[in-house]
Copies of this chain bind each other. A is one copy, B any other.
Amino acid sequence: MADTNSTPILKDDLDIVIPTIRNLDFLEMWRPFFQPYHLIIVQDGDPSKTIRVPDGFDYELYNRNDINRILGSKASCISFKDSACRCFGYLISKKKYIFTIDDDCFVAKDPSGKEINALEQHIKNILTPSTPFFFNTLYDPYREGADFVRGYPFSLREGVPTAVSHGLWLNIPDYDAPTQLVKPMERNTRYVDAVLTVPKATLFPMCGMNLAFNRDLIGPAMYFGLMGDGQPIGRYDDMWAGWCMKVICDHLGFGVKTGLPYIWHSKASNPFTNLRKEYKGIFWQEQIVPFFQTVTLPKDCNTVQKCYIELSKLVREKLSSVDEYFIKLADAMLTWIEAWDELNPSEEATELPKFVSK
């Protein structure tokens, strides 16, 4: 179980990745929780602009010039003018865990009025196992005051390693443009005090706003795709990563949790702009989701890299008929893995036979 005393948990094992185009004043509110940790700031847009980071934070900042310099020709796989660029931070990190958060997300309060330490909850989620093979009706059985209920097979109670912790949002819900347009005033006020494992073979819409993961376990699958400048689509970066990540976790026997912690999402993005970015995705997801629902990876794919390379082949094969964009995306997926292996050479040959599903 996660340590809850005053020493920051995983202080030396976790990087906080923040994609941004503006001054990071939002960090002031997070200071009590984030200051002990190292930040990786990925500056999107004009690299000549100076991003101000409040004093006292330990950070490294990469702009587009840095990304081009470090990755060379492989920089083509990192999106520009889209928060998808955040995955460069995952690539460059050397830590075991990543927490990523958007710069319009603030500290939320629980129903008792207490400020929520989102990072601490993510760490608890990540450090306790997941239960993807059978649903526990009292939710995460590893939380204090909970357990497995009657009828839960004992052989499954050890759980599996947790790869991803997906947190939620109070105030502005993460709606698509059509729903934003139809329900402009809807706010999420429901605090659901639950963490649960997304069951095996079930896909979900992963939002990148408030997300943690075990980089050692699943890092190479957390590629946020080609979005934004020069691409026909935006706002599907995290969805893409979520679908790819989930089928690979299912294959390798890792777990994905969703639920707590909440952050306070302060500002709805412009629904008209969003519609322009999203509309192709809204069509395409009708074919992308069935693709991911039926994809199967061969048994010899026993590392995340091997799984991801196989997935890129399948994307090229099965989704290129949807749009030629998917050929470009499949290429970028391979470039991403090459970049990952170049920047993380020791992991290249790591096999995880223990967790491979039978």
Q: Which residues of A contact B (CB under 8 A)?
A: 111, 133-139, 143, 145-155, 166, 168, 173-176, 178-179, 183, 186-194, 198-207, 235-236, 238-239, 242, 258, 278, 282, 285-286, 289, 293
Tell me which of A138, A168, A203, A242 has the highest count of chain B C-beta atoms within 10 A of its own C-beta. Answer: A138
Top-8 shortest CB links A-B: A151-B205, A135-B204, A199-B202, A151-B239, A150-B176, A192-B194, A153-B289, A150-B174
B147 and A173 within 8 A (CB) = yes
Shortest Cβ distance from residue A124 to the other chain B in the assembled complex, whole angstroms: 15
Residues in B with CB closer than 8 Å to A148 are 175, 179
A204 and B166 within 8 A (CB) = no
A147 and B202 within 8 A (CB) = no
Which residue on B lies nearest to A290, using beta carbons?
B153
Residues in B with CB closer than 8 Å to A193 are 190-193
| Further contacts, 11 of them, CB under 8 A, given A150-B179, A199-B199 | A134-B202, A135-B203, A136-B204, A137-B174, A145-B186, A145-B188, A146-B190, A147-B183, A149-B207, A150-B205, A191-B193
Which residue on B lies nearest to A132, using beta carbons?
B202
Cα distance A193–B199 in the bound complex, in angstroms = 20
Shortest Cβ distance from residue A308 to the other chain B in the assembled complex, whole angstroms: 20
Cα distance A183–B150 in the bound complex, in angstroms = 13
Cα distance A236–B150 in the bound complex, in angstroms = 9
A204 and B137 within 8 A (CB) = yes
Residues in B with CB closer than 8 Å to A286 are 153-155
Which residue on B lies nearest to A166, using beta carbons?
B137
Shortest Cβ distance from residue A102 to the other chain B in the assembled complex, whole angstroms: 13
Across the interface, A151 reaches (CB within 8 A) one of B150, B176, B202, namely B176
Cα distance A325–B350 in the bound complex, in angstroms = 47
Cα distance A192–B259 in the bound complex, in angstroms = 11
Residues in B with CB closer than 8 Å to A145 are 186-190
Shortest Cβ distance from residue A192 to the other chain B in the assembled complex, whole angstroms: 4
A137 and B258 within 8 A (CB) = yes
Residues in B with CB closer than 8 Å to A135 are 198-199, 202-205, 258
Residues in B with CB closer than 8 Å to A282 are 154
Residues in B with CB closer than 8 Å to A239 are 150-151
Across the interface, A201 reaches (CB within 8 A) one of B147, B187, B201, B206, namely B201
Shortest Cβ distance from residue A185 to the other chain B in the assembled complex, whole angstroms: 11
Which residue on B lies nearest to A192, using beta carbons?
B194
Residues in B with CB closer than 8 Å to A293 are 133
Cα distance A155–B221 in the bound complex, in angstroms = 27
Which residue on B lies nearest to A278, using beta carbons?
B150
Which residue on B lies nearest to A285, using beta carbons?
B153
Shortest Cβ distance from residue A77 to the other chain B in the assembled complex, whole angstroms: 21
Which residue on B lies nearest to A189, using beta carbons?
B145
Cα distance A239–B154 in the bound complex, in angstroms = 14
Could you pull out 23 A-B pairs where Cβ atoms are within 8 angstroms? A111-B111, A134-B289, A135-B199, A135-B203, A135-B205, A136-B205, A137-B204, A137-B205, A137-B258, A145-B187, A145-B188, A145-B189, A147-B186, A149-B176, A149-B207, A151-B238, A154-B178, A191-B193, A192-B192, A193-B193, A199-B202, A200-B202, A201-B201
Residues in B with CB closer than 8 Å to A146 are 173, 188, 190
Across the interface, A203 reaches (CB within 8 A) one of B134, B183, B207, B285, namely B134
